[in-house]
Amino acid sequence: MADDNKKNLDHLFVLTEDNQQSNEKINRPVTTFLQDAFRSLRRNVAAMISLVVLIIIIVMAAFGGQMNEYDSTTQNLSWAKMPPKVQGLENIGWLGLDGTDSETIEASTVEAAKERGLARFKNDEEHITFDVKSEGDGTEDSAKVVATHDVYASKDMEDTYFWFGTDGLGRDLWTRTWEGTRISLFIAFLAAAIDLVIGVAYGGISGYYGGRADNVMQRIIEIITGIPNLVVLILMIIIMGSGIVSISLALAITGWTGMARIVRGEVLKLKNQEFVLASRTLGAPNGRIISRHLIPNVASLIIINTMFTIPSAIFFEAFLSFIGLGLQPPTASLGTLIDDGFKSLTTYPHMLIFPAILISVIMIAFNLLGDGLRDAFDPKMRK
Amino acid sequence: MARYILQRLGYMIITLFIIATVSFFLMKLMPGSPLGAAQEKLSESQLEIVLDKYGLNDPIPVQYYTYMKNLVQGDLGVSFQFDNREVTGILLDRFGPSLQLGLQALILGSVIGILFGLIAAVYHNGVIDFTSTIIAVLGTSIPSFVFAGLLQYYIGVKLEWLPVATWDGFEYSILPTIALAIFPLATSARFMRTEMVEVLGSDFITTARAKGVGKFGVVFKHGLRNALIPLITIMGPMAVSLLTGTLVIEKIFGVPGIGDQFVNSITQNDYPIIMGTTLFFAFFFILVILIIDILYGIVDPRIRLTGGDK
Amino acid sequence: MKKILDVKNLNVSFNTYGGEVKAVRGVNFDLHKGETLAIVGESGSGKSVTTKALMGLLPKPHGYVKEGEILFEDKDIAKLSEKELQKIRGKDLSMIFQDPMTSLNPTMKVGTQIMEGLIKHQKMSKTQAKERALELLKLVKIPNAEERIKQYPHQFSGGMRQRVVVAIALACNPKVLIADEPTTALDVTIQAQILDLMKDIQKKTDSSIIFITHDLGVVANVADRVAVMYAGKIVEIGTVDEIFYNPKHPYTWGLLGSMPTLDSDDSELYAIPGTPPDLLNPPKGDAFAPRNQFAMDIDFEEQPPMFKVSDTHYAATWLLDERAPKIDPPESVQKRIDSMASNDGKGDM
Interface-testing mutation among B123, B211, B219, B220, with chain C (most C C-beta atoms within 10 A): B211
Report pLDDT for C186.
78
Which chain C residues are Cβ-neighbours of B302 within 8 angstroms? 106, 152, 154
My answer on whether omega of the bond before C61 falls inside 30° of 0, hence cis, is yes
Of A12, A20, A24, the CB nearest to C296: A12
> In chain C, what is the greatest distance between 2 CA atoms, to the nearest angstrom?
67
Subunit contact C57:B206, Cβ cutoff 8 A: yes
The per-residue pLDDT for range C76-112, each reduced to its tens digit, is 988 888 888 888 888 899 998 888 888 899 888 999 9
CA distances for C155 relative to A267, C147, C164, angstroms: 33, 11, 12
Backbone angles phi, psi at C85, to 5 degrees: -60, -40
Domain boundaries, chain C: 3-223, 248-348
Nearest CA in chain A to C272: A20
Q: What structural domains and CATH numbers belong to chain B?
A: 91-303 (1.10.3720.10)
What kind and span of H or E run contains B147? helix B144-151
A254 within a domain of the structure (yes/no): yes
What kind and span of H or E run contains A146? strand A143-150
| Same domain assignment for residues A217 and A279 | yes
Handedness of CA C231, C236, C239, C245 (dihedral sign): negative
Which chain A residues are Cβ-neighbours of C274 within 8 angstroms? 20, 23-24
**Partner A contacted by C299 (CB < 8 A):** yes
| Same domain assignment for residues A143 and A182 | no
Which chain B residues are Cβ-neighbours of C121 within 8 angstroms? 212
Query: How many residues are present in chain A?
Result: 383
Report pLDDT for C227.
93
Distance CA B233, CA B296 (A): 8
Subunit contact C106:B226, Cβ cutoff 8 A: yes
SS3 A136: coil
| Same domain assignment for residues A144 and A286 | no
| Same domain assignment for residues A205 and A337 | yes
Backbone angles phi, psi at C323, to 5 degrees: -80, -15
Nearest CA in chain B to C58: B206
Residue C16 DSSP one-character state: E
Report pLDDT for C349.
36
Residue A16 DSSP one-character state: P
Distance CA C332, CA C70 (A): 39
Subunit contact A19:C275, Cβ cutoff 8 A: no
CATH number at residue A310: 1.10.3720.10
The alpha-carbon gap from A323 to the nearest alpha carbon of chain B, in Å, equals: 5
**Partner A contacted by C53 (CB < 8 A):** no
Which chain C residues are Cβ-neighbours of A15 within 8 angstroms? 294-296, 325
Subunit contact A228:B243, Cβ cutoff 8 A: yes
A122 within a domain of the structure (yes/no): yes
Q: Return residues 210-269 of C near A (CB < 8 Å).
A: none
Nearest CA in chain A to B240: A228
| Same domain assignment for residues A138 and A181 | no
Query: How many residues are present in chain B?
Result: 310
Per DSSP, what are the bridge partners of residue A148? Answer: A102, A129
Q: Which chains touch A (3 or more CB pairs under 8 A)?
A: B, C
* Domain of residue A131, residue span: 84-154
**Partner B contacted by C57 (CB < 8 A):** yes
Subunit contact A323:B251, Cβ cutoff 8 A: yes
Which chain B residues are Cβ-neighbours of C90 within 8 angstroms? 210-213
| Same domain assignment for residues A341 and A217 | yes
Of B207, B212, B222, the CB nearest to C120: B212
Q: How many CB pairs under 8 A join A and C?
A: 48
The alpha-carbon gap from A369 to the nearest alpha carbon of chain C, in Å, equals: 23
Torsion angle in degrees (nearest 10) through CA of A184, A189, A190, A191: 90
Nearest CA in chain C to A9: C298
Distance CA A19, CA A200 (A): 54
A49 within a domain of the structure (yes/no): no
Which chain B residues are Cβ-neighbours of A324 within 8 angstroms? 263, 266-267
Subunit contact A319:B240, Cβ cutoff 8 A: no
> pLDDT tens track of chain B, all 310 residues?
677 778 778 878 888 888 888 878 877 776 655 565 556 666 777 777 777 777 777 788 888 888 888 888 877 777 766 667 788 888 888 888 888 888 899 999 989 999 988 888 888 777 888 888 888 888 888 888 888 888 888 887 777 777 777 777 777 888 889 989 988 898 898 888 888 888 888 889 989 988 888 888 888 888 888 888 888 878 777 877 787 788 888 888 888 888 888 888 877 777 778 888 888 888 887 788 788 877 777 777 766 544 333 3
Interface-testing mutation among B7, B28, B30, B146, with chain A (most A C-beta atoms within 10 A): B146
Q: What is the tally of structural domains in chain A? A: 2
Which chain C residues are Cβ-neighbours of B211 within 8 angstroms? 89-90, 94, 116-117, 120, 168, 171
Distance CA B46, CA B195 (A): 64
Which chain A residues are Cβ-neighbours of B192 within 8 angstroms? none
Q: Return residues 275-304 of B near C (CB < 8 Å).
A: 300-302
| Same domain assignment for residues A228 and A107 | no
| Same domain assignment for residues A130 and A192 | no
Choosing from A127, A154, A181, the residue where a domain stops is: A154
The per-residue pLDDT for range C207-221, each reduced to its tens digit, is 899 999 888 888 888
Torsion angle in degrees (nearest 10) through CA of B140, B142, B143, B146: -150
Subunit contact C89:B225, Cβ cutoff 8 A: no
> pLDDT tens track of chain C, all 349 residues?
688 899 999 999 988 777 788 889 889 999 998 899 999 988 888 888 898 898 888 887 788 888 889 998 888 988 888 888 888 888 899 998 888 888 899 888 999 999 998 998 888 899 999 999 998 898 888 888 899 999 989 889 888 898 899 889 888 888 999 998 888 877 878 888 888 888 888 888 888 999 998 888 888 888 899 999 988 889 999 999 898 888 888 888 888 887 766 655 555 666 777 777 777 777 777 888 778 878 888 888 888 888 888 888 998 888 888 888 888 888 777 877 787 777 654 444 3
| Same domain assignment for residues A123 and A237 | no
Residues whose CB is less than 8 angstroms from the CB of residue C53 and which lie 6 or more positions away in sequence, other chains included: C10, C12, C24, C65, C70, C77, C78
Report pLDDT for C210.
92
Domain C3-223 - what CATH class?
alpha beta
Which chain B residues are Cβ-neighbours of C120 within 8 angstroms? 211-213
Subunit contact C168:B301, Cβ cutoff 8 A: no
Residues whose CB is less than 8 angstroms from the CB of residue A66 and which lie 6 or more positions away in sequence, other chains included: none
Below-50 pLDDT ranges, chain A: 1-6, 21-27, 381-383
Given 3-state DSSP classes, what are the helix, strand and coil percentages for chain B, each rounded to the nearest 5? 80, 0, 20
A243 within a domain of the structure (yes/no): yes
Phi/psi region, residue A34 (left: phi>0; alpha: psi -120 to 50; beta: rest), is alpha
CA distances for C220 relative to A118, C30, C200, C244, C245, angstroms: 99, 19, 16, 8, 11
Report pLDDT for A365.
92
A39 within a domain of the structure (yes/no): no
**Partner B contacted by A315 (CB < 8 A):** yes
Report pLDDT for B163.
78
Strand bridging mode C208-213 / C176-180:
parallel
A261 within a domain of the structure (yes/no): yes
| Same domain assignment for residues A240 and A102 | no
Report pLDDT for A18.
61
Other C-beta atoms lying within 10 Å of the C-beta of residue C159: 18
CA distances for B47 relative to A326, B34, B53, B81, B244, angstroms: 31, 11, 10, 14, 36
A58 within a domain of the structure (yes/no): no
Backbone angles phi, psi at A132, to 5 degrees: -80, 120
Nearest CA in chain C to A8: C298
Subunit contact C117:B212, Cβ cutoff 8 A: yes
Q: Which chains touch B (3 or more CB pairs under 8 A)?
A: A, C
Note the helical H segments in chain A. 2-9, 33-42, 45-63, 110-120, 151-154, 173-209, 211-226, 229-240, 244-270, 274-281, 286-288, 295-322, 334-343, 350-377
A4 within a domain of the structure (yes/no): no
Model-level pTM? 0.77
| Same domain assignment for residues A180 and A121 | no
Report pLDDT for C268.
63
**Partner A contacted by C270 (CB < 8 A):** no
CA distances for B72 relative to B9, B20, B77, angstroms: 15, 10, 12
**Partner C contacted by B126 (CB < 8 A):** no
Interface-testing mutation among C96, C116, C177, C184, with chain B (most B C-beta atoms within 10 A): C116
Report pLDDT for A378.
66
Report pLDDT for A198.
92
**Partner B contacted by A342 (CB < 8 A):** yes
Report pLDDT for B239.
79
Of B207, B221, B222, the CB nearest to C97: B207
Strand bridging mode C208-213 / C36-40:
parallel
Residues whose CB is less than 8 angstroms from the CB of residue B212 and which lie 6 or more positions away in sequence, other chains included: C86, C87, C88, C89, C90, C91, C117, C120, C121
| Same domain assignment for residues A268 and A212 | yes
Subunit contact C154:B210, Cβ cutoff 8 A: no
Report pLDDT for B217.
87
> In chain B, what is the greatest distance between 2 CA atoms, to the nearest angstrom?
87
Note the helical H segments in B211-234. 215-217, 225-231
Distance CA C112, CA C153 (A): 11
